[in-house]
Structure 1
Amino acid sequence: MRHTTPPSTDDIIQMAEHALDAIPAELRAMVRGVAIMVEDVADDETLAAMGLDNPWDLTGLYSGTPLTQKSVLDVALQPDTIFLYREAILLEWIETGEELFRLVRNVLIHEIGHHFGLSDADIERLERDE
């Protein structure tokens, strides 16, 4: 997909949905119920919690309880959510020249990894083994 204007929130949502559809069905079933939200940038509270000053340093975030820590007795206070931060993704797209869909997919898959209970180090190790 070629863009002559910056991709919109809806464009990023469509790419994320397309990427989610490509995940094997058994894994996709385990992500069912996780909300995927696209926001322009992370809010100040999120940035402070992550120890970040620059909103363009955060392309995505998983907010919730990883599957490895869930119990059937737990009552969810809020739904598990994956946030994709559009402006940070677009900045990385511009700076790296990476294909935008691939970048959106990589951020989404990274955050799904956190939903499955993987650490950043685990995810990086898996990405190197591709």
Structure 2
Amino acid sequence: MVAISEHDFSEAVDDALDSLPDEIARAIAEANVVILIEEEPPPGENLLGLYEGIPLDRRSVFDGYAQPDRILVFRGPLQRVSRDRDHLVEQIRVTVLHELGHLFGMSEERLHELGWG
């Protein structure tokens, strides 16, 4: 297990987002999505991250007002699965990309093919 401060964890999430191409970052900014860091997933769930919402490829102008989609990144499990700080930072990056992939409508299979699984 690797433990880092909440601040350093948040910075690693921000770094993952900052690494995205401009057009992807712009689409995320326009997507009505919030990215949150939670300490643990819901009880009984074995997750590093979670996307909750309507993927962009299934949205319609007829949907009306909706609460923001949420991407949750779980600090505790990510720290527990990591060998060292560099591995933790990479796992955070992969988790953020994985959950963003769901926002864009990508399947689990496709995310794994891309190495974001």
Same fold (TM over 0.5): yes
Partner of 1:66: 55
1:92 to 81, 84, 88: 81
Q: Which has the higher contact order (CA 8 A, sep 6+)?
A: 2
* Number of aligned residue pairs: 113
Q: Is 1:38 the counterpart of 2:37 in the alignment? A: yes
SS of match in other structure, 2:35:
strand
Q: How is 1:1-130 mapped onto 2 (pairs within 5 angstroms)?
A: 6-32=3-29, 33-44=32-43, 53=44, 55=45, 57-94=46-83, 99-127=87-115
SS of match in other structure, 1:84:
strand
Compared CA separation, residues 76 and 105, structure 1 to 2 (3 A): farther
Contact 1:9 1:39 in 2 (8 A): no
Q: Distance in 1 between matches of 2:65 and 2:7?
A: 28
Shift of 1:12: 1.7
Q: Once superposed, what is the RMSD of the aligned Cα atoms?
A: 2.1
Structure 1 residue runs without a partner (length 5+): 45-52
Give the aligned residue type for 1:24.
Answer: P
SS of match in other structure, 1:42:
coil
Deviations 1:58-88 (A, max 9, x none): 0000111000100122124321111000001
Q: Name the % identity.
A: 31
Shift of 1:15: 0.7
Give the aligned residue type for 2:35.
Answer: I
Deviations 1:79-99 (A, max 9, x none): 1111000001001114x8862
SS of match in other structure, 2:98:
helix
Give the aligned residue type for 2:18.
Answer: D
Partner of 1:48: none
Give the aligned residue type for 1:12.
Answer: F
Runs of 4+, deviation exceeding 4 Å? none
Give the aligned residue type for 1:39.
Answer: E
